[in-house]
Structures are given as structure tokens and as C-alpha cells.
Structure 1
Amino acid sequence: MVNIITNQIGYQCKEKKVAVFRNVTGTSFSVVNANTGKEVYNSIVSSPIDNVASNEVIVLGDFSSVTTPGTYQIKMEGAGVSYPFRIDVDVYKPVLRDLFRMYYLQRCGCEVTKELGGIYAHPACHTSLATIYGTDKKIDVIGGWHDAGDYGRYIVAAAVTIADLLYAYEANCSIFEKNFDIPESNQTTPDLLCEVRYELEWMLKMQDPETGGVYHKVTCAGFPGFVMPEEETEPLIVSPISVTATASFAACIALAIPFYYNYDEEFCKKCYQAATRAWDALQDLHMPGGFKNPADIVTGEYADATDTDEIYWAAAEMYKLTGKQMYHDAFKKLVTEKVWLGYGWEDVGSFGNRAYLTTSFPTDHEVMNKITESTKEYGKQLFEASKKDGYGVSLGNSYIWGSNMVVANNALVLLDCYHLTKDKSYRFAAKEHLDYLFGKNPMATCYVTGHGITSPMHPHHRPSVAKNKPMPGMLVGGPDAGLHDPQAVATLTGMPPAKCYVDHFDSYSTNEITIYWNAPLITLLAEFM
């Protein structure tokens, strides 16, 4: 077990850099050139920290003074050395590339070529018409991205994924102008917008042309075995319309439209009509909040206890897009009840807040203040939690299913606070969350497949299992103290929360992947590159 833990991918030259030491008695450490063994820096460690979430006593070592590009390791007498890591201005380019290319490799309904997909190439899959549940009507819903380790496609997951990717492009479009080796590369439209459009085109097919409502998902009745996507040939079923899907659809489509103004006016018009119809449908959809699987469908449910935050997001995005008073009134009414927060698929309020805070149309002063103060208070809570954790993350002891998504999303909230307050301590706290995902964590594992020294080799991801090799560039779910699968129960019972992770393809609660876990990590990288 390694006792000196760092971000395994590395650090940019001028960023703050902190290593974690556990099970050590030394008080000083050194940074050495990994190729020559020459010491380039030495210092002392912090006072001991009792890290409850990992059941460890740890100390920290700041080596921010090391800024010269190179490959390094950290040493402490009696404790060994860290894994090697790079310091360089472009250290994150390779991982960003794979995190983004994951979306092409997850494409459904088209051929993934050998040239671009390597061993994960496959012919067009899931190309049959899908039956609308409870009817004999069949529709074309070909396209989009496979959502996760299975081959389902889900609207609420797609919406937040697209939002995060567009935020990443907005934050730092230059890093997405290069050739990412997708079929649309080297065209006028940037690769990221091409890839996102592939998902948007599928989402448009999921809207009912008669009501404007949006179907929740398309899957088979159950999950397939660990096979390649073209081998899942059971009938496709379109699950019923839901409020959460319809509202998330309206919000996502409205957000996307301005990004395509300069590339395809007709597509923007089509999207505007779809978003408007979805909003109008929300006024007529009288159904329980959230979504429940029909009795004979057992694929991912994406249930949600409330749909108000999705409507909140939709109202904000429609107002930001159009400036129409009816959307402004709807949003203000919801803010009066509550400021919704969160960047996950279930809690989407922060997407709505971001839209309102950045609109060019007139805003309500009281509403702006309420959103700003609520966001800052939320960020402060996360910041205080991260200061108490030796690894610098804001989870406390709450390591849930998809904890790595929470890490990434919390980092985005911290960055919101940084932009609102200009307090650089929030930015550093967000960076600590990135370091955690890249290896500075109690498992000493880079949670992105194919990167770092130790990374998941057996993700719960059907193409990876079928090919017996992990597809690169996938962020796995991470520690889940709830032990929500039999493999986790068998392997992890009694472990501290931050160590409830197992690299096994049967552990879907700790080692699965999804499109909306990669997306906030890409957004986070865009802020730091």
C-alpha cells in the first residue's frame, strides 16, 4: 500500500500542490526528479489530521514551490516514495482527450469505426423502431449515447451531461478546437459542438409530436449480459412521458441553441420550436412528480422525488434565451418558494441559477441577491467540509452511489463561489477535488480508466468487459458506503466510507461509469487548463 499519495496525472506548473502522507512517523519530505533521483525540494509536513472518513491519521506536505516541468516523486524516510507524476503546463491534455472521446465510443445507432474506435469498434446498434410502452405504436429513436455501463438512453441524464459539456466549452473553448478524432473532426463546427449535437438530435426524437411531452427513456425491458452493443437485440421500449424529462429537455435545448447560432440556423429554429413546445406541455402534464418504471421494465429508473427543480431550470433557461416575461414570472415565483441548488441529474437547481445569473435580459434585484447569497452559503458549507477532510474533499462521511460525481459537482459549486467572491481559496478547494479524482484519495487510485499509475481495470461497462480491457477515459462511480451491490457487500463490509470501493465489473454501485460523471469532470478541467 502506497503511503505517499498525490494526483497521479500531475500538476500544472503554477498550481498549488499538496501531497498526503499516511502511516508515517517522519516530519520532513523531499521531492526528487523521477528520472535522475536528484532532490529538487524539501520541506516539513503539517500537524496530524484525524481523517474519520478513511479511518486514517494523515499529514500533508505542500510542494507548490516545484514549478519546473518534469516527472517527479515524493520521498520520506521510512515511508517509501509516491507514484511518479508530471508537472507541466499541458499535463491534462491527454486525459481531457480520452474523457471527451468516451462520448464518441458510447455512440448508439451508428457505426463506431475501427479507425476511430479501435477494439471498441462496432456496427450500428439499436437501429430498430422502438415501441411506445402500453401501445402498438413504433417510433424512430435511433442515435444518442449509451448512458452508462448498460445500453439504455435516458433524457434526464442526457440533459445535465449536455449542460456540463456546453459550460466547459463556454469556459474554455480553445481546448476543444483541436482534432479529437471523431467523424466530424476538421469541419467548421468545433468537435465538442458536433458531439453534443449527436445527442441533441436523439433527444429531439424523444419528444411526442402531438403533446410536446418528452419520453423518459428508451431501453429494453431488462439489462443484457456483458456483450457488445450490437448484440443487444431485444425489443426497444420507449417509457412514458415524465415531467422531469420534459422540463430537463426544455432547459437543455434552450441552453444549447445559442452555441449553434453561427453554424446552423435551421437547427436552432428546430430546437427553439421543440423547447417551446416542451415548456407548453409542462402546463398540461398532470402526473406525479418524478418517474417510476412500469412493472415489467427493470432498467435504470432515474426516479426523482420532485420535479420542481427541473421546471425551475427550464424557466430560467427559457428566459435567458428569449427574455419573455412569462418565463421570468414563472422563475421568480419558484425562487420565492425556494432557491434550488445542485448540479446532479436529480438536483438541477444550480443550472437554473447559473442561467439567471448570466442572462443579458433584465433581472429582478431581489431574486439575484437571493440566488447569489444561497449559492455562496452552499459553497461555504462545502468549503468548510473540505477543510476538515485531509484529502480536501467536501463529502464528510457521505460517500454515496456515484460519490465521484458529487466530488466533481461540488467542485463546480466551489468555482461558482470563486467567481462570485473572487476568493482564491474557493478555487484551490475546487482543485483539491480534481486532485482527489486523479489519485489523491484514500484508495490511491486515479478514478479515470487508462490514466495514472493505478486506475480501474475492471469497470462495470459492457464493452470493457466484452473486450477484457477498460475503455480509456471513463470516470467510475467511486466509494459507496451503502454497499449497493452483492460484490460490494462481499468485499467491503466493515470498511470506512472513503474506502468502500472495489475494482470489479460486478460492482455496479462503485465501479460503473456514466456520461454524466465524465461531463462535470470535463467542465472542471476546462476551468483549470
Structure 2
Amino acid sequence: MHSKKVLLAFVLGVLVLVAKAVTVPGMFLPSREEIAAGTSVKEPRAWIRINQLGYTPESIKVGVWVSKEANRIRRFKLVEASSGKVVYRGKAGEAFGAYGPFQESYRLNFSDFKGHGTYYLQAGTAKSPAFRIAPDVYKGAADFALRYMRQQRSGFNPYLKDSCHTADGYTMYGPMPDSTRIDVSGGWHDASDYLQYATTSANATYHLLAAYRDFPGAFGDQHQANGLEGSNGVADVLDEAKWGLDWLLKMHPREDWLFNQLADDRDHAGMRLPTLDHVDYGLGKGKERPVYFATGKPQGLGKYQNRATGVASTAGKFASAFALAATIYAPANDSLARLFQQKSLSAYQLGLDKPGACQTAPHLAPYFYEEDNWVDDMELGAAALYQLTGDKGYFDRAYQYSLQEKVTPWMGADTARHYQWYPFHNFGHYELAKNAGATDRAALISFYKEGIAKVADKGMKNAFYRGVPFIWCSNNLTTSFAIQCYLYRQLSNDQTYAELEQANFDWLFGCNPWGTSMVYGLPANGDTPEDTHSAFTHLYQYPIDGGLVDGPVYGNIFKNLKGITLYQPDEYVPFQSDLVVYHDDYGDYSTNEPTMDGTASLIYLLAAKQHSSLEGARAKK
């Protein structure tokens, strides 16, 4: 479970006995801070960060050299791990200066090297971990991340092979009497707690459906519809999307009914498996949980309330997920496709009737998803309905929405409130541009470019090309930004921001100050999260394979959040700073809690990377 922390203690004991250490290619000795004790061994003062998943031969390939001292380097080399043979030498280029805990930093670009194999980078005494360069480095990664989605299932949970939350739920704020019984069991738990939000679930469902539509070859068929092992003739990603769709149907049971949330933060009553959830929400309801009707007005049954202004942000997400589902299912299941089309149309109408943002409801604590934008959701809903029906009216309305929010507002900003601008990229511009005439297409592409340029203006001034703000769930923003860069390249064929796109992808898998992947268990032999804010790992040592954790936050955010305590020695002490922190400790829910919707977005990105790498390999032949 805590293998990294156990390893540190073991290394300390060994170093006391061993006078001289043997250097293994691609490895370096831990520093004094890292082993949390003094030794006579000289500490490393410089490190090289790389993407632990590896690189494809044709891709942009960059490592980042960082140092605790104001040293300079001029050159670096790429070394074959098995033989120690130098296969490439490169110039370090310009110095980027201080960043976070480091005094100096460089980008080591070895994109010109096209060989296949396992290698490490070296500059001075610093060596990177070993990594692969091959066309198949991303093969199976999207399917691996699907493991976490299955594990997050409510209702029947295939990982635990048991059911949970089958009594959900009773209504609040609806046109029916409060506490009316309604069946909304199913769906996915939002994170490591057991709340369920329509906004994140609908967005996740759309990403899974889009991944199946755009990259069907990236997914296998190893599981049944219920998530248990066994082929059923349907791609696993489509099975997972259907699980989400079935819950969305329950949350939109009538054309004038839309529910936004299941349960609230009374759920935060200690670590337990979902199948052992003991929380009683009161009112004599036992294990039933409240279901919040989407009224478009502020809600909150306890001390705190949200600032909701409408329904359109949730309704638009429902409309896009249902419309895309109708398009996908139409060839094989006409009756199901008609149902999804009907639900898309009714959800979209609710968005028209009640424009504005529909935020999640707090109860005991002041934290909630503070979504303030909604025209992006209605744009995507209208674009999906245009693709489904061919009705030009939907295109025209979607385009008008696109003009109201050309750039997702967090891009270029230093901070934002929690989920204030959600989803973190606007899929609507891409879906609309695919079917637009030349003038409208060029405008929509320019909206993407404007947002990317804002992030580039900040990010390309540091060695990690980091322009995404370190707000709560920064990894979700990073994933979305990489997707937007990818979609922009697909539409424009402009490679201007390709290195920035790759840098954001690399960040997620180890090319960051801490040198760790942000995805549990990926890659299998890498430094990845272990002590996550999850009952699965903390109480039972169950792996949460494929889960994307929240990611680093500004130091001042970490210091001001309630209820955070680190329970283990911090193996990343040398890499923390006032600027930003990340902890692999279950006590830090701000940086180390996996999220369902972030993982769903990552599945799209990983599928795109696998598709592009194999497409590039075929083109080379």
C-alpha cells in the first residue's frame, strides 16, 4: 500500500550499511529530505523529468531538467538503458530560470530521435527514469482508465461484486411533495465520496461516447454490460457510457422534470466502501438519499446555499449526451435511439426555458461546484442536435451561443472558483466547426486558438510550459486543455501549439516538479499515486486503477482548506514550494482524490493519443 514510503525507510537502512552505492542507469539516490533523515550520502541537486508512459517515435519528445542550484547546462544525451550506449546528443537550449522549488530549469528536446527502445536522459550527474519510445506506448491506456469508471459504479458495483445505494432516493425542491420516493439508483459516484452530480455525469458520458465515436479502435471488449468480466460484443467504453445514460434517463424521467444532484455533503462521514455506506440523511428515510430537483434557483438544505441562476448548464449537458447517444445507437437500435432523441429535445427545451447556471447544492460545508457559465453547454447541445437531425435551426442557435463565450474563461486566468467554468473546454466549438461553412469554421477555430494562446502566453515562460492555474482539480483542467489543443490541430492542421499540447499531456504522466504520474497505476512500473483519498486504497488496499487524481494546488489554497492533515512522511518534500504542492497522502483531499469526470476526459485524451500514434506508424509505412 504505502510502498513508496516503505521504500524510503528501507533505503535509509541500507545507506547506513553501504559505503558506496551502485548507480543503476536511469535511477538516482534519494535526497536527505526524501528519506526524512540525515545520511552521509551526497544529495542529488538536479533531476530530469519525463513522461513515464513514454513517447512515440514521431512525436514531440521533451524532458525537463531542474536544479536546486543556479547551475547551467549546455548539453544532454539520450542513453540506451540496456547497453549504456549514447544514441543521441542535444543542446540544452535556453535557460528558463527558477520555477517552484527549483533555481534553474531547461527543456531537453530530443524530438529528432526516431529510434525504438528503452532509454534515459542524462545531463551532468542527473539521470531520468528509464522510458520507452515505441509506436505502441499508449496502447491499452484508455481501456486501463475505464477500470476506474467501472469501480465508481453505483447500484451494482462490478469491482465489489455487490450492490450499493439501491434505495435512492427521495425528492427535494421539486413540483412534487418533498420526500417523494423516486428511483434514481445507478450512475457513478462522483469522486471518493458517494455524491452523484448530473453535471459531471452528463459531461463524463459525453466524453465516453465521443471517445467511442472518434477512436473505436482504442477500446476492447473484455466486460459485459454490468461490468463483470466477459465479452458481450460491445466495446467496453460504450458499455460504460450506457451505464451513465441509464442514470441520466432516471434523472430526466419526464419532459418537464430534471434532477441535478443525488445526496449532499452529509455523505462526508468517514471512509467506508460504498456497499457499507451507513449514512442516514434523516427524515426516517434510512439509506435513502435526497435527490435535488433542478429549479434554477439557489438551493441548500443546511447552513450554506449555492448561487444557481438557471437550469441550462445541466440541461445542455443532458441534451448533448442524449443526442450523441441517439446518433451512435441509431444504426443498431432504432427504438433506443428514438428515446434518446426525445430526451435530448426535452432537456434542450428546459435549457431554453430556464437559461442560467445550475450549481450543486452544499449542506454542511461551503464547498460546491460553482459553475457560472452555461452557453457552452447549450452550444454543444444544439450542435449535437444539429448533427442528429440536420435541422439548420440548431446550427444557427449553437453558433449564436458560441459568440457569447468564445473562450472558456479560466484560460489565461490565474485562478477560478471550484468548477466555476465547467466543462473545462468547450467541445461545442469542435462539433459545430466540423459541419460549418468556411467562414463560420474559421471563426470557431479562432475561438479555440484565442484560448490556447492565452494559456501559452503564461505557460511557455517556464520549463514545464505550465500555463494552467493550480486550482482545485488542476489535472482536470490540464486534461481538458490538452484535448482542446488536439481538437484545434484536427480542425486547423496548425502545429504551432503542438509542443504545448504534448507538455500538458507529459505533465500528467511525470514531467512535473514531483516526477510522478497523476494516474493510479499508469504506467505499471512508474511512480504513480498510491495513498489516495479513497476508502478503496486507504482501508482495503484495493487498487483504483486508472483514476486521475485532482492534482497540485497553489500553496495558499492548500493552507486554507478545511480538514486536511498529512498522515505519512511526505516523500515529495524537496519538490514542494509556496507556489504549488502535491501530496500522495490520503489526508490531502485537495490534490490526491481521484475524480470520475476527470478520468472520463482522460479516457478521451488517451484514446486520441493511441489513435494518433498508430495512425502515425501506418503513415510512416
* Within-5 A mapping of 1:122-201: 122-133=161-172, 135-179=178-222, 182-183=227-228, 185-201=230-246
Q: Aligned residue for 2:57?
A: 13
Counterpart among 451, 456, 463 of residue 522 in structure 2: 451
In the alignment, what sits opposite 1:310? 377
What amino acid sits opposite 2:66 in the alignment? R
Q: How far apart in 1 are the matches of 2:399 and 2:80? A: 57
Tell me which amino acid in the other structure corresponds to 1:12.
Answer: T
Given the superposition, is the C-alpha separation of residues 299 and 467 from structure 1 closer, same or farther in structure 2, using an over 3 Å criterion?
Answer: farther
Relative to 1, partners in 2 of residues 1:129 and 1:69: Cα closer, same or farther, differing over 3 Å? Answer: same
Which range moves more in the overlay, 406-415 or 299-308? 299-308
Q: How far does residue 340 in structure 1 lie from its aligned partner after superposition? A: 5.2
2:254 is the alignment partner of 1:209: yes
* 3-state SS in 1 of match to 2:260: coil
What residue identity is the alignment partner of 2:95? P
The offset of 1:505, in angstroms, is: 0.9
Q: Label 1:318 to 1:399 Cα distance change in 2 as closer, same or farther (>3 A).
A: same
Structure 2, unmatched stretches of 5+, are 1-30, 32-45, 280-287, 297-310, 411-418, 611-621
1:382 equivalent to 2:451? Answer no
Q: Is the 8 Å Cα contact of residues 26 and 78 (structure 1) preserved in structure 2?
A: no
Contact 1:446 1:454 in 2 (8 A): yes
Q: What is the TM-score with the length of structure 2 in the denominator?
A: 0.76
Match of 1:323 among 390, 396, 399: 390
RMSD of Structure 2 on Structure 1 (CA): 2.9
Q: 1:339 to 1:423 in 2, by over 3 A?
A: closer
Choose 322-331 or 42-51, whichever is displaced more.
322-331
Residue 364 to residue 29, structure 1, CA distance change in 2 (3 Å): closer
Q: Which residue of 1 aligns with 2:415?
A: none
Post-superposition shift, 1:193?
Answer: 0.9
Single out whichever of 386-395 and 137-146 deviates more from structure 2. 386-395
Listed as ranges, the gaps of 5+ residues in structure 1 are: none
Equivalence for 1:505? 586
- Of the structure 1 ranges 98-107 and 165-174, higher mean CA displacement relative to structure 2 is found in 165-174
Per-residue CA deviation, residues 379-426 of structure 1 (Å, 9 max, x unaligned), is 22333433222113332xx21111111111111221232123312232
- CA gap 1:233/1:346 in 2 versus in 1, 3 angstroms: farther
TM-superposition CA deviations, 1:212-255 (whole Å, max 9, x none): 43333345743242111111143311012151322221122112
Find the partner of 2:406 among 339, 358, 372.
Answer: 339
Question: Quick check: 1:461 aligned with 2:534?
Answer: yes
User: Could you tell me which of 271, 288, 292 is aligned with 1:239?
Assistant: 292
If you compute each CA radius of gyration, which structure gives the higher value, 1 or 2? 2
Between structures 1 and 2, the one with greater helix share = 1
Q: Note if contact 1:219-1:299 (Cα within 8 Å) is conserved in structure 2.
A: no
Structure 2 residue aligned with 1:352: 428
CA drift at 1:356: 1.4
Alignment partner of 1:265 is 2:347 = no
C-alpha displacement at 1:459, in angstroms?
1.2
Determine helix, strand or coil for the equivalent of 2:155: coil
Measured in 1, the distance between the counterparts of 2:399 and 2:449 equals 19
Structure 1 distance, partners of 2:377, 2:142, is: 29
Q: Which amino acid aligns with 1:431?
A: Q
CA distance in 2, matches of 1:214, 1:151: 17
Q: Is the 8 A contact 2:479 2:602 kept in 1?
A: yes
Look up the match of 2:142: 96
Structure 1 letter corresponding to 2:431: A
> Is the Cα contact below 8 Å between 2:76 and 2:108 reproduced in 1?
yes
Q: Amino acid of the residue matched to residue 101 of structure 1?
A: R
CA contact (8 A) 1:221 1:237 kept: no
One-letter code of the match for 2:135?
A: V
Q: CA deviation at 1:369?
A: 4.1
The equivalent position to 1:256 in structure 2, one of 325, 339, 347, is: 325
Q: Which residue of 1 aligns with 2:511?
A: 440
Match of 2:561 in 1: 485
Match of 2:115 in 1: 68
What are the within-5 Å matches in structure 2 for residues 387-406 of structure 1?
A: 387-395=460-468, 398-406=469-477
CA distance in 1, matches of 2:521, 2:220: 23
Structure 1 residues 458-490: Cα deviation after superposition (integer angstroms, max 9, x where no partner): 111222222135412111111110215357687
Alpha-carbon displacement from aligned partner over 1:176-231 (angstroms, at most 9, x marks no partner): 14536843752332221111101110111011426143333345743242111111
- Quick one: structure 1 residues 336 and 499, their matched pair in 2 at CA, closer, same or farther if it must change by over 3 Å? closer
Cα distance, 1:257 vs structure 2: 1.8
After superposition, the Cα gap between the structure-2 partners of 1:254 and 1:150, relative to the gap in structure 1 and judged at 3 Å, is same
Q: Secondary structure at the match of 2:451?
A: helix
Contact 1:476 1:511 in 2 (8 A): yes
Is 2:470–2:580's contact at 8 Å kept on the other side of the alignment?
Answer: no
